[in-house]
Amino acid sequence: MGRDKKRQAEYWKRYYAANKEKILTNQKKVRHTEEYLSKIRPKRAVYRQVNRELIRIKRREYMNRNGDRWRFKYPERVLARHLIKNALRRGEIVRQNCWCGKDGQAHHEDYTKPYQVVWLCQKHHAERHRKYERICLKRLSRTKRRSRKI
- Tens digit of pLDDT for each residue in 10-48? 898 899 889 888 877 766 666 567 777 788 889 999 999
Q: Is residue 113 part of a domain?
A: yes
| Domains: count for the chain | 1
Host domain of residue 118 = 95-150
Q: Is residue 73 part of a domain?
A: no
Backbone angles phi, psi at 26, to 5 degrees: -65, -35
Q: How far is CA 52 from CA 45, 59, 98, in A?
A: 10, 11, 34
Beta bridge partners of 120: 105
pTM: 0.49
Q: Is residue 127 part of a domain?
A: yes
Q: Is residue 40 part of a domain?
A: no
Residue among 135, 70, 86, 82 nearest 111 (CA): 82
pLDDT surpasses 60 at 146: no
Q: Is residue 82 part of a domain?
A: no
Q: What is the pLDDT of residue 29?
A: 62
Q: Is residue 88 part of a domain?
A: no
Q: Render pLDDT for 88-114 as a digit per residue (tens, 0 to 9).
A: 999 999 999 988 888 899 999 888 999
